[in-house]
Amino acid sequence: MNTNRPKHLALHLIKLPLPGFVSILHRISGLLLFVSLPLLLWMLQYSLSSIETYTVLRSELAQPLFKLLLLGLLWAFLHHACAGLRYLAIDLHWVRGLAQARNSSKVVLVVSLILTVMLGVKLW
């Protein structure tokens, strides 16, 4: 048995390949969406209660901090959806091999960022 093994794994020194990075972002975006679900449902309920609560919510959402929060949630949704389609393609064996996995990871990152910018500019 090799006794010169490291006792602690230095996670900050490990360089993940791009598909691993996309996988971690997929999990983080799913967690963000799950955690923000009560807030989003509360906002929906608040906006549907009356015209007064709708105008209050609309004025609050016009604040730059809330806009950045919603932009982050928009990215989380778009990245999670694009990565989910990628994993579906992998499960259906449409993506085979390491080169296609890396290329599909690049596509997921680029498409989710482009869609976030396009929708963010429209919604800002």
Where does the pLDDT of residue 35 fall: very low under 50, low under 70, confident under 90, or very high at 90 and above? Answer: very high
Q: How far apart are the first and last CA of the chain?
A: 60
Model pLDDT for residues 76-101, shown as the tens digit of each residue: 999 999 999 999 999 999 999 999 99
Q: CA-to-CA distance for 30 and 45, rounded, in angstroms?
A: 22
Gap between the Cα atoms of 19 and 102, Å rounded: 6
**pLDDT tens across 1-24, in order?**
666 766 677 777 778 899 999 999
CATH architecture of 17-123: Up-down Bundle (1.20)
Residues of the chain with pLDDT > 90, as a percent, come to 85
AA identity, residue 89: A
Q: Using an 8 Å Cβ cutoff, are 53 and 43 in contact?
A: no
Residue ranges per structural domain of the chain: 17-123
∠ Cα 123 24 71 (to 5°): 10
pLDDT of residue 1: 62
Instruction: Measure the CA–CA gap between 120 and 23, rounded to whole angstroms.
Output: 24
Whole-model pTM? 0.86
* Confidence class for position 65, pLDDT limits 50, 70, 90: very high
